[in-house]
Amino acid sequence: MTSDMPLLVFTDLDGTLLSHGDYRWDAALPALERLAHVGAGVVLASSKTALEISELRQEMGLQHWPAIVENGAGLLAPHAQAVADGFTYAQLRAVLGNIPANLRRGFCGFGDMDTAQVVRLTGLSASAAALAKQRGYSEPGTWSGTSQEKAQFLEELTKQGVVAREGGRFLTLSFGGTKADQMAQIIDELRPRHTIALGDAPNDAEMLESADFGVIVANPHGADLPLLEGEKTGRIMRTRLAGPQGWNAAIMGHLARLKL
């Protein structure tokens, strides 16, 4: 890594760098290769676990960059081998066990599901779903109760130090830490000349606003992000194409504008 890095890219995965349906990323390969050619870094930032991201990072040739895991609740160092340490996750599940039953039953987390259920919910392969269940810091899940019950559920969690964030598919619980928090630490360490962040869901908004340039990647399968402050000045843009196709076009466009 170098302190004279021209550009550092922070990117969400599902629905952004990975396609929504089949989790492929080959449509973004031209931009990834171009980024490597100009000496830019790519930091994966996702709700995925360290074990999941470690495999993807290796496949993409990005193992020499850090990665933000479980929506910012954890960080995977460059070249580090992911290890499943469930201590924090066990504490989180214990908090869920203390929530009143009439509220708790509305939330179904990965820890409440078997691997087959995670496969059906996410479309992941069985092996990938097994990795997704080996969590270290956070609990993604779905909500089936009423909006009033949800508000009460979140209030109970807040009392016990747990925060909830809405993603593209899941309501994710953790003891804190965001993608933007981890992003700030990485930028402080690497000191890139420019930063770009790409995402498609509400839990990416802080990361998008924190970068020099932000890209909201079109996701026809999720709710549109509300207008972000950076869009008013043109610092944040939206893609027309979805997933890795939109990612590729946006990165190529920014590289041209930055003359890299």
Q: What angle do helix axes 50-59 and 126-133 make, rounded to 10 degrees?
A: 130
Residue 225 and residue 223: Cα distance in Å, rounded? 6
Please report, rounded to a whole number, the percentage of residues in the chain having pLDDT higher than 70: 97
- State the average pLDDT over residues 18-34: 94
pLDDT over threshold 60, residue 1: no
Q: Record the tokens describing residue 234, joined without a space.
A: 């043109």
What local confidence, expressed as pLDDT, does residue 84 receive? Answer: 65
Catalytic residue among 12, 14, 200, 204: 12
Express each pLDDT in 43-77 by its tens digit. Answer: 999 989 998 999 999 999 999 999 999 989 889 99
Interval 71-110: pLDDT, tens: 898 899 999 987 767 789 999 999 999 999 999 999 999 9
Q: Which of 189, 194, 199 is nearest to 211 (CA)?
A: 194
Q: Given a cut of 50, is residue 2 above it in pLDDT?
A: no
Residue 12: active-site member: yes
Q: How many helices (H) and strands (E) does the chain have?
A: 10, 11
- Mean predicted confidence (pLDDT) in 119-135: 92
Query: What was the pLDDT predicted at 168?
Result: 65
Which pairing describes strands 236-242 and 74-76: parallel, antiparallel, or unpaired? unpaired
222 pLDDT above the threshold of 80:
no
